[in-house]
Amino acid sequence: MELSQSSKGDILIVDDTLDNLRLLSAMLTEQGYEVRSVTNGSMALIGIQAQPPDLILLDITMPGMNGYEVCQRLKSNPQTQEIPVIFISALNEVFDKVKAFSVGGVDFINKPFQIEEVVARMEHQLKLCRLQMQLQEQNRRLQETEAELRRSLDHQKALNQRIEEMVALEERNRIARDIHDSLGHSLVALNVQMETALTLWETDLNRARSFLLAAKKLGSEALQEVRESVSAIRSDPLHGQLLENAIANLAEEFYHLTDVLPYCKIDLSQPLSDSVNHVVYRIIQEGLTNIYKHANATAVQIRIQTTAAGLSLILQDNGKGFECDQSVAGYGLQGMRERMATVNAQLEIVSKPGAGCRIVANFPRDEGGGE
């Protein structure tokens, strides 16, 4: 049902009393309504099917089909059941009013009527119809918005999944390069040790034995590094843990290896995406590994702060440090930079010999992604 836009409302009057029809029609037309009139129920149903009105004023006592039957037929038809029906009748018994409401009427006006009362009751019902239509339109728009939002979320989810897959692939490629570089270096050193041992085998067994022991140590270290690198190739480096729990485990492992317990200050009250969390974890993991292997540090700090703008990470130690402007093999700095690039983050490394190392990483919040 659509309310008439050219007048205050399209009203159909159904009454077998011509004086009532003429009076109501004239009065309502003066009030600005578009009015149609019929004298029996059959004609009313035909007119309603041809052009549904906004509201019906319906007499009860009519020859042939009475008002109750007309209303029942209207309410049984999905195309007309929403049209409000106001009964106007000389019947004044409670039974008559109860039946009028039971068949679907929305109001009941006794004859003789006052035009002011009729208009007031009509306006009330028309206003309810307008509000109902507005609510239906708002619900329709809300459903469209919800459907569009779901499509956007599904699209974003697919993009995030693709990004994480690309990050995982890049991580595997980086680890493969690390394995190649570190293993190649170890094998060259191992080969040198064994060639020297073979050279000394006939002349100096003790020195040859010491070179063989060094070669064995190099082989064991290379094997361990390969195992650690291979174990790192997985889609979820956090193993399903929360980031703060995963970092706490890294700190605990570092303590068991070095007897140095890192100081951790972590605020993840405004979390970022999983892809950022993975990179943060890897940076800390690689940084702690470097400190363990090269720094000889006695104090380590891990600070993480999340804000509306993103996440900042500081990993600092008081170890022996190194020259940042030189290419330092084995520190994994290139791997860190590659990881940071996958999430458009910035990495700063500050270090000098004897002054420790400070790693600062800033991760911007992805406005289109989130969790």
Tens of pLDDT, residue by residue over 257-288, are 889 999 999 999 998 888 888 889 989 988 99
CATH 3.30.565.10 location in the chain: 236-371
Q: Give residue 7's pLDDT.
A: 64
Q: Which residue stretches of the chain have pLDDT < 70?
A: 1-7, 167-168, 171-172, 174-189, 225-237, 239, 325-332, 367-371
User: Considering only CA atoms, which of 130, 71, 73 is closest in space to residue 104?
Assistant: 71
Sign of the dihedral through C-alpha 291, 295, 300, 301:
negative
Q: Give residue 282's pLDDT.
A: 87
CATH architecture of 236-371: 2-Layer Sandwich (3.30)
Q: Give residue 209's pLDDT.
A: 83
pTM assigned to the model? 0.42
CATH architecture of 10-113: 3-Layer(aba) Sandwich (3.40)
Q: Give residue 168's pLDDT.
A: 67
CATH 3.40.50.2300 location in the chain: 10-113
